[in-house]
Structure 1
């Protein structure tokens, strides 16, 4: 081999070894970057802890709200089954008022009805107020039939309330059944 060729080979070897050294340094730098420092590890764990703490706080608030809602409507099934009894009392009072001779009976039935209804009110039961002339609202009323409106201003309004509605807290447990004008 000639001298020039030897020099070229040496230059090539030097270039290759230099590029290999640079590559090795880059790889070592990447490896060093991949290993997080102690401060980065602490910050990551702190972040994870804060997220877990916030998630737990949200869980506590949600279960607390659900528990309160459950207590408010826990007696819903019982209240719903007692509503026909209230209806029967009201019908009885209506019929007894027509009979003038049964004044003492009316007073006794009225007393029992008032005690019964007051007890249910203390447990959160309330009437959904509906009267003739109110605007019909499908979210509050249950329309059972439509009849021709006796006057133009009663179209789309409540004409008669057939069955009273009741709420337990803020939740309607029985919608008032109404007749609306057409």
Structure 2
């Protein structure tokens, strides 16, 4: 960015020197004084040159920022993937262990540990599960799959949660699929 600004300044100063030199040459070569029209034509040519240079500089800036944006989008998930790789390794070890081990309790404990590690990794990236059961139905958070006859005290309340909803940094990224009392 600084480099670009320096280049623009150099171009501007070179242009001014060139225009001044051309004006001086015209004055020296012609015995006639420079007319107002010639001065205005020189100013218009200088303004046009500056405009063209500024426009091309803006186009370069636009292309460069578009490329940076694409790179950012392509690499946005890199951090999450790096944190999920150890969880994947744990799942692979658990899978190998299940093939040889017959101790169901140990396998269950191992899978529970991996699940908690997975939850902690996702929570560190801003993922938070939504609490829906026994809450008032809210169309901004819930997707009603079906309604179930319930007492007056359960009317408009989430009776059961079919699929959990999730927030990512306080933004709903998946609505909870629920059963609502009617």
TM-score range, shorter chain: 0.3 to 0.5
Q: Which has the larger radius of gyration?
A: 1
Higher relative contact order, structure no. (Cα contacts within 8 Å, ≥ 6 residues apart)? 1
